[in-house]
């Protein structure tokens, strides 16, 4: 049975050939993608499966939570 997304990301973060460096990579990827999506007009993000406003909201949430994490 395939793993869930959570299981996949956990395995990636905990068992990488590059050790803990993978965690910095994943966090940087989250930050960069969230920044790009947050800067995009929500209507431009619409797809048949996902509301652009919801996708944009996810980006803003990730940005906020990353900011909180690294400011504490």
Chain segment 32-68, per-residue pLDDT in tens: 999 999 999 999 999 999 999 999 999 999 999 999 9
Buried b / exposed e over 14-26, threshold 16 CB at 10 Å, is eeeeeeeeeeeee
Residues of the domain holding 19: 5-71
Rounded Cα–Cα distance for residues 35 and 66 (Å): 11
pTM flag (> 0.85):
yes
Number of domains the chain is built from: 1
């Amino acid at each position: 049975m395939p793993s869930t997304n959570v299981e996949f990301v956990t395995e990636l973060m905990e068992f990488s050939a590059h050790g803990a460096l993978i965690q910095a990579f994943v966090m940087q990827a989250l930050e960069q993608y969230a920044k790009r999506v947050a800067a995009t007009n929500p209507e431009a993000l619409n797809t048949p499966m996902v509301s652009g406003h919801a996708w944009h909201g996810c980006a803003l949430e990730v940005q906020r939570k990353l900011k909180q994490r690294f400011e504490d």
